[in-house]
């Protein structure tokens, strides 16, 4: 079920009423209700997907219990615990790998042998990628690893654990929650908090605006531009690059806003996933602000175990490159993602080698209403570098990406923006202004509570009218495919 479907508009209030008024008195029953509605939500796409998330949940739950049991009874408890943890990681990564990467590696292997004149026949599986499989798999893996590292006690309540893995607001596209944060919330009695719920509704509205008005309409133009890029002028292709950058941001951060806001309706607090990355002053700051839950996952479970930054320069370069390449592969089996990862390695390494990757850690223009000219230039440069790299991300092949870039830098006539482009530019301008005003808050409508009542209500209705009249037609989110 998609957040922006009519089904969800019926589903959410029914779940809200059942959660608080029918099952709110008994914590165990309330958690069981969460699991049930989450499985309904996820199975709405395809009931067969439910088997995979059940296997992931059951294996991870059992592995946590086994790790703690062998530590109490086995002589070589650490070694046995390691094997249990490794087995669970292997099962979950194996499932993810088959569905997400088998065809890519099979085709790449056949191409490699073809270069040597050997014809290798490998059958493609052509499996349908289950929605959100990467997100809930990584959430489950972090639990097992944390139990093995003794950072967390194994969860003994299966209903609580299954609620942690399947909680429907963040199930299919994150944020990727840690067990240390989310599990305790399902163990404790929740009480309805009107202030938190009201702010959650504001965040949901902001997410709908970004997704339905900006991302979906940008996506429509981007699809048209990429479909006929070989006949379009350079200004149109440059706009396509910019539009896809806003599509990616508004699609994914819009989903996160809806997810976080929806969770607050149920007394659950999810971690922040985006911190206004378009206001980043260099590429290192951008990656600290973008998809925070995944990037901190890479840091804690891959980067730090490899040695992090407390090692030689060569190893720091290796560790950083490994993170970007793994992140590229996480997005899917395509060489365009690898090229996108290499591009960001090349952008990041100079900052790392010059020890400037931690230069910007606070809010931009802190204590001021407007940025300086230097800060403006830094943000514009970073935005354009990110946007340029997204050409590889959006292209279907490496050849198409270079062809697009070549035509974009060719001399050609400017073209007047279409009516849809003008509407989009107005919506993007409104979004950027509100996010700048709230850049040290949680979302783009946080500070509206301080406005006069008429202005605040007028803003909310204005956004609703924008959504009603200019919403795109796409129900899916880009990151469903990851």
Q: Report pLDDT digits (tens) over 442-453.
A: 999 999 988 999
For 307, residues 6+ apart whose C-beta sits below 8 A from its C-beta are 315, 316, 319
Q: Report which of 244, 292, 274, 283 is spatially closest to residue 393, judged by C-alpha positions.
A: 244
**404 with 395: CB under 8 angstroms?**
yes
Least confident range of 35-49, 123-137, 341-355, 374-388: 123-137
The neighbour count for residue 166, using CB atoms within 10 Å, is: 24
199, with CB counted inside 10 A (0-12, 13-18, 19+), is buried
Predicted local confidence at residue 119, as pLDDT: 76
Q: Report which of 444, 438, 476, 436 is spatially closest to residue 460, judged by C-alpha positions.
A: 444
Predicted local confidence at residue 476, as pLDDT: 67
The 10s digit of each residue's pLDDT in 84-135 is: 999 999 999 998 888 887 777 777 777 666 766 777 777 777 777 788 888 9
Predicted local confidence at residue 101, as pLDDT: 78
Q: Where are the domains of the chain?
A: 6-191, 195-281+360-481
Identify each DSSP E strand in 309-362 by its residue range.
none
pLDDT range class, residue 288, cuts 50, 70, 90: very high
Predicted local confidence at residue 411, as pLDDT: 76
Residue 333 CA to residue 242 CA, distance in Å, equals 24
Share of the chain above pLDDT 70, in %: 94
The 10s digit of each residue's pLDDT in 187-243 is: 999 999 999 999 999 999 999 999 999 999 999 999 999 998 888 888 889 999 999
Residue 111 CA to residue 442 CA, distance in Å, equals 47
Predicted local confidence at residue 137, as pLDDT: 93
Q: What mean pLDDT is reported for the chain?
A: 89
Predicted local confidence at residue 466, as pLDDT: 86
Mean pLDDT along residues 302-328: 89
For 466, residues 6+ apart whose C-beta sits below 8 A from its C-beta are 209, 213, 427
Q: Roughly what angle, to the nearest 10 degrees, separates helices 49-73 and 158-166? A: 130
Q: Is there a catalytic annotation at residue 344?
A: no
Say which of 331, 344, 355, 443 is annotated catalytic: 331
3-state secondary structure of 268: coil
Both tokens of 188, joined, read: 């404790």
- Residue 142's φ and ψ, nearest 5 degrees, are -65, -35
Share of the chain above pLDDT 90, in %: 60
The 10s digit of each residue's pLDDT in 332-365 is: 778 899 999 999 999 999 999 988 988 988 889 8
pTM of this prediction? 0.91
Cis ω before 175 (30° cut-off from 0)? yes
How big is the CA angle at 64 (ends 63 and 69), to the nearest 5 degrees? 95
**112 with 160: CB under 8 angstroms?**
no
DSSP labels for 285-300? HHHHHSSHHHHHHHII
Least confident range of 6-15, 394-403, 406-415: 406-415
pLDDT range class, residue 80, cuts 50, 70, 90: confident
Question: pLDDT higher for 114 or 380?
Answer: 380
pLDDT higher than threshold 90 for residue 412: no
- Pairs from 39-44 (Cβ < 8 Å, separation ≥ 24): 39/166, 40/1, 40/11, 41/1, 41/11, 41/168, 41/171, 42/1, 42/131, 42/132, 42/166, 42/168, 42/171, 42/172, 44/1, 44/7
CA distances from 429 to 134, 249, 289, 367, 426 (A): 33, 14, 20, 22, 5
Predicted local confidence at residue 479, as pLDDT: 66
Predicted local confidence at residue 231, as pLDDT: 85
């Amino acid at each position: 079920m998609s957040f922006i479907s009519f089904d969800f508009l019926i589903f959410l209030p029914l779940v809200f009423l059942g959660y608080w008024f029918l099952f709110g008195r008994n914590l165990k029953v309330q958690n069981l209700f969460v699991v049930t509605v989450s499985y309904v939500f996820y199975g709405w796409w395809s009931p067969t997907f439910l088997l995979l998330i059940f296997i992931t949940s059951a294996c991870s739950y059992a592995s946590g219990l086994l790790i703690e049991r062998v530590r109490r009874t086995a002589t070589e408890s650490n070694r046995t615990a390691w094997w249990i943890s490794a087995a669970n990681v292997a099962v979950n990564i194996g499932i993810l790998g088959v569905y997400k990467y088998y065809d890519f590696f099979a085709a790449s292997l056949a191409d490699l042998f073809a270069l040597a004149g050997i014809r290798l026949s490998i059958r493609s599986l052509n499996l349908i990628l289950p929605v959100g499989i990467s997100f809930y798999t990584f959430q489950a893996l972090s639990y097992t690893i944390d139990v093995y590292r003794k950072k967390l006690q194994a969860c003994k309540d299966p209903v609580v654990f299954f609620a942690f893995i399947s909680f429907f607001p963040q199930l299919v596209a994150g944020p990727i929650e840690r067990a240390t944060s989310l599990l305790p919330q399902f163990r404790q009695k929740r009480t309805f908090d009107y202030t938190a719920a009201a702010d959650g509704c504001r965040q949901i509205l902001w997410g709908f605006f970004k997704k339905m008005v900006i991302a979906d309409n940008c996506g429509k133009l981007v699809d048209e531009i990429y479909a006929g890029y070989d006949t379009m002028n350079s200004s149109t292709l440059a706009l396509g690059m910019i539009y896809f950058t806003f599509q990616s941001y508004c699609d994914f951060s819009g989903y996160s806003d809806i997810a976080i806001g929806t969770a607050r309706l149920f007394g659950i607090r999810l971690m922040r996933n985006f911190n206004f990355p378009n206001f980043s002053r260099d590429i290192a700051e951008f990656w600290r602000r973008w998809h925070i839950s995944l990037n901190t996952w890479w840091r804690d479970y891959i980067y730090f175990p490899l040695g992090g930054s407390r090692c030689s320069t060569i190893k720091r370069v290796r560790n950083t490159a490994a993170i970007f390449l793994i992140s590229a592969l996480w997005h899917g089996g395509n060489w365009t993602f690898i090229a996108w990862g290499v591009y960001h390695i090349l952008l990041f390494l100079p900052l790392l080698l010059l020890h400037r990757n931690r230069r910007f850690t606070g809010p931009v223009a802190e204590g001021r209403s407007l940025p300086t000219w230097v800060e403006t230039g830094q943000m514009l440069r970073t935005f354009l570098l990110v946007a340029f790299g997204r050409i590889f991300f959006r292209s279907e092949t490496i050849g198409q990406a270079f062809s697009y870039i070549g035509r974009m830098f060719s001399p050609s006539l400017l073209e007047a923006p279409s009516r849809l482009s003008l509407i989009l530019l107005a919506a993007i301008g409104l979004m950027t202004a509100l996010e700048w005003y709230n850049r040290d808050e949680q979302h783009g409508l946080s500070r509206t509570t301080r406005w006069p009542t008429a202005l605040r209500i007028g803003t909310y209705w204005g956004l609703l009218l924008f959504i009603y009249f200019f919403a795109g037609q796409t129900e899916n989110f880009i990151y469903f495919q990851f």
